[in-house]
Structure 1
Amino acid sequence: MPHVPVPDGLPGITGLLAFKPATGVRVADLMHELLRGESPLTPAERETIGAYVSHRNECEFCARSHSATIPHLGSGAELSEAALVGPAAEGISPKLRALLAVAGAVTEGGHRVSDELVETARAAGATDEELHDTVLIAAAFCMANRYVDGLDAVTPTEDAAYDQMGVRLAREGYRRAL
C-alpha cells in the first residue's frame, strides 16, 4: 500500500505524480524529454538504459514497465535482453554495451563513471552527447526508482498490465494528464 494516497487505476510513478501535480508535471516532462526528445540515441536505446538502471536498482515497476516498452518501439529482442543483463547482452552494438556500462556505474555513484569507462565508450563510437544523455537518463532513473520504491507505489504483478503500459508509453510518451 502506498505511503501517500494515490488515485485508483494509476500504478507506479503515475499515481505518485498525480498525488502532487505541481511536481508531477515537471517530472513527467523531464522523463518525456529524456526518453523521447532530441538525442542521437534512439528511443529504444534510451528505454533500454532506463530499464537496465531500474533492474540494477531493483525497482520492479520501472524495470518491467520500461522493458515492456522496448518491443513496442519496434526493437528486437537484443535490446529487451540488454535491459535485463546490461553490457553482457548478446547482439548489441559495442557502443550500446559501453554506454550500458556507464549507466551501470551511475547506479553505484557518479564518481564510479571512470575515465576508462568513458574512453571505452568513445572508442566504441559514443559521442559526447550520447555520453551526456546516458548519464542523465541513468541519474534520472535512479531518482525515479527511489521515488517509486520509497513511497511504495502500486506495483502490478500481471505481465498484461506492463504490456499495456508499454504500448501506451511507446505511442504517447510520458506526458499524461495528471
Structure 2
Amino acid sequence: MAHINLNNQFPGIVGLMHYRPETAKPLNELAEILLRGESTLTSAEREMIASYVSHQNECHFCHSCHGAAAAHHLDGDLSLLSDIKDGFRKTNLSLKMKALLNIAKKVQILGNRVEPDDIRAARDEGATDREIHDTVLIAAAFCMYNRYVDGLGTWAPEEPEAYDETGRMLAHEGYLKSIP
C-alpha cells in the first residue's frame, strides 16, 4: 500500500502517473527522449543503464520495467533482469558500455564521484561526449524516478514475468503511449 491514497491499483510509477497526470506528461517525455530518442547508444543499452541504476537504488519496479524493456529490444529473454543484478556476468557488453556503466554507478552514488579518469576510460573505449552526457543524465534521471516511486511506497510485483508486457510495450510503443 502506498504512503498516500493514490485512488488506483496500479503499481510503481504507473499509479503515480494516474494520480498526477499533469506530472506524468513531462516525466514520460523525458524518458522517451533519454531512452528512445536519437542516440548512438542503442535503446537496449540506454534501458540497461536505467535498469542498472534502478537496481543500485534498490527500486525493484523501475529495475524490472526497464530491464524488461532492454530484454525486448534484444531477444526478449527476461533472464537479463537477473544478469543486471549480477553485474552483467552473462551479457556480452562492449568495453565502452562497461565504462559507461561505471560512470552511471558513480552518478548513482553521488555525482561528484565521477572522476576525470572515469571519463578518460570511457573515451579510450570510444565513448563520445554525447554518450557520456546521456549516460550521466539517464543515471541522474533514474535516481529521481526511483526516489519518486519508492519515496511514496508504491507496490511492485516480485516476479519478472509480471513485467514482460510492460517491457514489450515500452520497447516497441514507447513512453508517450503510457501517459494516462
Length-normalised TM-score, structure 2: 0.90
1:133 maps to which residue?
134
1:104 maps to which residue?
105
Letter in 1 for 2:122: A
1:83 maps to which residue?
84
Please give the alpha-carbon distance, in whole angstroms, between the structure 2 residues aligned to 1:89 and 1:7: 41
Contact 2:31-2:175 within 8 A present in 1 as well: yes
In structure 1, list runs of 5 or more residues that go unmatched.
none
CA shift in 2, pair 1:49/1:63, >3 Å: same
Give 1:164 deviation, angstroms. Answer: 1.5
Give 1:65 deviation, angstroms. Answer: 1.2
Length-normalised TM-score, structure 1: 0.91
Alignment of 1:1-178 (within 5 A): 1-75=1-75, 80=80, 83-86=84-87, 91-175=92-176, 176-178=178-180
Please give the alpha-carbon distance, in whole angstroms, between the structure 2 residues aligned to 1:104 and 1:155: 23
The percentage of aligned residue pairs carrying the same residue is 47
Q: Deviations over 1:94-134 (max 9, x none)?
A: 00000000000001111001101000000000000000000
SS in structure 1 of the partner of residue 103 of structure 2: helix
Contact 2:8-2:18 within 8 A present in 1 as well: no
In structure 2, list runs of 5 or more residues that go unmatched.
none
CA shift in 2, pair 1:121/1:75, >3 Å: farther
CA shift in 2, pair 1:172/1:5, >3 Å: farther
Contact 2:68-2:166 within 8 A present in 1 as well: yes
CA shift in 2, pair 1:159/1:137, >3 Å: same
Contact 1:87-1:97 within 8 A present in 2 as well: no
Please give the alpha-carbon distance, in whole angstroms, between the structure 2 residues aligned to 1:129 and 1:118: 12
Please give the alpha-carbon distance, in whole angstroms, between the structure 2 residues aligned to 1:135 and 1:18: 28
Aligned residues: 177
Contact 1:86-1:101 within 8 A present in 2 as well: no
The alignment's C-alpha RMSD in Å is 2.0
CA shift in 2, pair 1:82/1:38, >3 Å: farther
Contact 2:72-2:168 within 8 A present in 1 as well: yes
Give 1:68 deviation, angstroms. Answer: 1.3
Letter in 1 for 2:123: R
- Which structure 1 residue ranges, 4+ long, deviate > 3 Å from structure 2? 85-90
Please give the alpha-carbon distance, in whole angstroms, between the structure 2 residues aligned to 1:57 and 1:112: 16
Contact 2:17-2:179 within 8 A present in 1 as well: no
Letter in 1 for 2:27: V
Please give the alpha-carbon distance, in whole angstroms, between the structure 2 residues aligned to 1:82 and 1:125: 24
